Amino acid sequence: MNILVACKIVPDDQDVKVAGDGSLDFSRAHKVVSTYDLNAIEAAAQIAAANDGSTVKAISVGPKKADDSKTKKNILARGVDELFLAADDALDGLDAFATAAELAKLAAKAGDWDVIITGDGSADLYAKQTGVQLAAKLGVPFVSGVVSAEAADGKLVAKRLLESEEETVEVPLPAVVSVAPEFAEPRIAGMKDILAAGKKPMNVEGAEGAPAKAVEEVSVKAPAEVDRKKEMFDDVDAFAAAVKAAL
Amino acid sequence: MSKAFVIAETENGARELCAGARKLADEVVLVSVGAPVSGAADKSFHIDVPAGNIADDAYVTVNKIYDAEGGDVVLGEQTLRALSLVGRLAAKLGAAAITGVSAVEGGVATSMYFGGTGVREAKAAGDVAVYTFGPGVFDASEATGTDAVEEAAFEAPENAVAKTGSEALPPSDVNLAGADAIVACGRGFGAEEDLQLARDLAAKLGAELACSRPLAEGVDWFPREAYVGVSGAVVSPKVYVAVGISGQMQHMVGCNGADVIVAVNKDKNAPVFKACDYGFVGDLKTVLPALTAAL
């Protein structure tokens, strides 16, 4: 099976600083692979391992800073054979429509594929829309919330964990499949994997032009602090009285 | 005349979104892929999804209804199936959905950024704005509309996904959205049997029981619907009692709408004490029974 896995490279939110005017400063943040996309990479690697002769290629779209040596190796150290990355500041902060269009271009460059796996949602927007937009762009089936999948004769037999039911489905290939974090815990990449990753093919390119925006960002700010009383108690009766009064 | 186009899966979702759609447009059109919903929109469509198909594949029909009805704004319910339908329609429109929206003001939608690290305001660049909303943003009881529901035939796409089985998840009696009081449990609970202390407190307060993410996803002590936080429920009770919850941003964004936040934690430096109204430092095994008894 030829598997593509889409992943997003995002600033590490641990490094985000709140500026004096309440805006968020990401300029010093390290680049990391979006959390749930690590589960998607692991899912791709596990499906590949279960099907002899499989390949796993990663596709990603982001700003120039996404072309980061450590992050690229981190992707390739997790059972991924090859990386296709479009890194250009014209591709920064793309919405799901534009991201899907760019990912579709990379998918075409990555050669024949049977399935494209995406994560549950990205760390920044958690919109859960890139997978379905990509499926729409490519004109293929889409399922989300997948917690297990087995390849069988031109299809993927998968279980989806939905809000109130678990659904078993047969997805004709090619298709785009979004996996839930429960599908697979990301592996811890060892030193040997990381060294080997440095020798794997990395195809990095710029943008052919700035894609049109479907969504315009107006502002990003730190959340307003809710004013709380912060009253501490050491007497349970007084504490109980305060709780009771609030009801 | 502006028109809103609502895509919903559950009946409550349909009513909430239709109530919200009234605030954004003059006319409301509803498409439901779950149960038929009457009395919520000016025009109500229902797509009966065949047993062998998935509701996500109802997009062919949904998009055709949109072509016929139009809409300046699309409101989608934030369930996985409805998100698929919203994404397919957005792709067709050259749009991208702004999801997890908590408010829309003058075409600008507010949602969370990086799990609550930030608050993002964004607007549609094209002619049609597409938003999705989690439960509780709008009041379902405000929905009004026609009793007539029009059936729209399900049309399968090429290469349709086949549904071969379905198993209902254990029914949940969790109702956080409507709760006046909530007792939420976190990692401070070392053993499952200690949860009884929280149940006792909740019973005394007439509160619903909830949890932070690790207790619903790390261990299976709670159903997923009971988890409060960025990718879980966002609640706004009168009183929210956080027990054994450290108070990470990702959890607190789920309960910041509470009138009063009460915290019990054995770590006096837990961030939750900086975000609460009433705090008590102590072991939950002694504090909870004492508090329950004193109430």
The pLDDT, as a whole number, for residue A4 is 98
Same domain? For B27 and B144 the reply is yes
Count of residues in chain A? 247
Asked if residue B283 belongs to a domain, the reply is: yes
Mean pLDDT of B250-275: 93
Same domain? For B40 and B127 the reply is yes
Q: Comparing C-alpha atoms, which of B90, B180, B112 is closest to residue A137?
A: B90
Would you call B99 and A226 a contact, using CB atoms and an 8 Å cutoff?
Answer: no
Mean pLDDT of A8-22: 87
Does residue A158 contact residue A177 with C-beta atoms inside 8 Å? yes
Between the two ends of chain A, the Cα-to-Cα distance in Å is: 58
Spatial CB neighbours of A154, under 8 Å, sequence gap ≥ 6? A172, A173
Asked if residue B164 belongs to a domain, the reply is: no
Distance from CA of A26 to the nearest CA of B (A): 11
What would the two tokens of residue B102 be? 């908590």
Same domain? For B21 and B75 the reply is yes
Would you call B83 and A132 a contact, using CB atoms and an 8 Å cutoff?
Answer: yes
Q: How far is it, in rounded angstroms, from Cα B18 to Cα B7?
A: 9
Same domain? For B198 and B280 the reply is yes
Query: Which candidate from B163, B169, B172 shows the least CB-CB separation from A169?
Result: B163
Would you call A239 and B291 a contact, using CB atoms and an 8 Å cutoff?
Answer: yes
Would you call B161 and A171 a contact, using CB atoms and an 8 Å cutoff?
Answer: yes
Q: Which residues of A touch B159 (CB under 8 A)?
A: 140-141, 172, 175
Q: Which residues of A touch B169 (CB under 8 A)?
A: 164-166
Same domain? For B250 and B123 the reply is no
Asked if residue B217 belongs to a domain, the reply is: yes
Query: Which candidate from B90, B112, B181 shows the least CB-CB separation from A247?
Result: B181
Report the interhelical angle of B80-93 vs B59-69 (nearest 10°): 50
Tell me how many degrees the CA angle A238-A243-A245 measures, rounded to the nearest 5: 95
Would you call B122 and A216 a contact, using CB atoms and an 8 Å cutoff?
Answer: yes
Same domain? For B147 and B185 the reply is no
Asked if residue B230 belongs to a domain, the reply is: yes
Asked if residue B77 belongs to a domain, the reply is: yes
Spatial CB neighbours of B21, under 8 Å, sequence gap ≥ 6? B4, B6, B28, B41, B73, B75
Where among B152, B170, B192 does a domain terminate?
B152
The pLDDT, as a whole number, for residue A243 is 93
Tell me the H-state helices in A173-224. Answer: 191-197
Q: How far is it, in rounded angstroms, from Cα B247 to Cα B281?
A: 14
- Note down the domain range covering B218: 181-294
- Percent of chain B at pLDDT above 90? 84
Average pLDDT across chain B, whole number: 94
Asked if residue B160 belongs to a domain, the reply is: no
The pLDDT, as a whole number, for residue B229 is 87
Q: How far is it, in rounded angstroms, from Cα A85 to Cα A66?
A: 8
Distance from CA of A215 to the nearest CA of B (A): 5
In this model, does residue A167 exceed pLDDT 80?
A: yes
Same domain? For B189 and B64 the reply is no
- The dotted CATH code for A2-222 is 3.40.50.620
Asked if residue B148 belongs to a domain, the reply is: yes
Same domain? For B188 and B144 the reply is no
Would you call A168 and B160 a contact, using CB atoms and an 8 Å cutoff?
Answer: no
Q: How far is it, in rounded angstroms, from Cα A17 to Cα A11?
A: 11
Would you call A145 and B80 a contact, using CB atoms and an 8 Å cutoff?
Answer: yes
In this model, does residue B258 exceed pLDDT 90?
A: yes
The pLDDT, as a whole number, for residue A152 is 92
DSSP string, A31-87: EEE-HHHHHHHHHHHHHHHHSTT-EEEEEEEE-GGG--HHHHHHHHTSS--EEEEEE
- Percent of chain A at pLDDT above 70? 100
Would you call A167 and B115 a contact, using CB atoms and an 8 Å cutoff?
Answer: no
In this model, does residue B171 exceed pLDDT 80?
A: no
- Nearest chain A residue (CA) to B92: A136
Query: Which candidate from A142, A222, A226 shows the least CB-CB separation from B84?
Result: A142
Q: How far is it, in rounded angstroms, from Cα A81 to Cα A113?
A: 14
What band does A14 get if pLDDT is binned at 50, 70 and 90? confident
Same domain? For B114 and B235 the reply is no
Which runs of E-coded beta strand occur in chain A? 2-6, 9-11, 17-18, 24-25, 31-33, 55-62, 82-87, 115-118, 142-152, 155-161, 165-172, 175-179, 202-205, 215-221, 231-233
What's the CATH number where B194 sits?
3.40.50.1220
What band does A133 get if pLDDT is binned at 50, 70 and 90? very high
Same domain? For B43 and B84 the reply is yes
Q: Comparing C-alpha atoms, which of B246, B268, B269 is closest to residue B187?
A: B246
Task: Domain count for chain B, please give it.
Answer: 2
Asked if residue B166 belongs to a domain, the reply is: no
Q: Which residues of B touch A239 (CB under 8 A)?
A: 278, 280, 291, 294
Facing residues of A86 across strands? A61, A205
Q: Comparing C-alpha atoms, which of B31, B25, B73, B74 is closest to residue B49?
A: B31
